[in-house]
A = this chain, B = another copy of it.
Amino acid sequence: MRFGVLGTGMVGMEIAGKLATVGQDVRMGARQANNAKASSWAIAAGGSASHGTFGDAAAFGDVVFNCIHGVYALEALRAIAGPLRGKILVDVSNPIDYSRSPPGLTVCDHDSLGEQIQRALPETRVVKALNIVGCKAMVDASYIPGEHDMFVSGNDGEAKAVVTRIVSEWFGWRRVIDLGDIASCRGTEAFTILFHALWKVYGTPYVNIQVAARPKG
Could you tell me which A residues sit within 8 Å of B by CB distance?
A: 100, 102, 104-105, 108-110, 137, 143-148, 153, 177-180, 183-184, 186-188, 190-191, 193-198, 200-204, 206-216
Contacts and interface: CB of A to CB of B under 8 A. Distances in A.
A193 B109 contact: yes
Given A191-B191, A212-B145, A197 B204 contact: no
Contact of A190 (B145, B180, B190): B190
Nearest to A103: B109
Nearest to A141: B212
Contact of A208 (B146, B194, B212): B212
Given A191-B190, A193-B187, A210 B209 contact: yes
Contacts of A110: 100, 104
A209 B212 CA distance: 6
A102 B207 CA distance: 27
Given A206-B213, A210-B212, A187 B197 contact: yes
Contacts of A191: 190-191, 193-194
A89 B207 CA distance: 29
A197 B184 contact: yes
Given A144-B213, A212-B146, A212-B210, A190 B188 contact: no
A90 B119 CA distance: 41
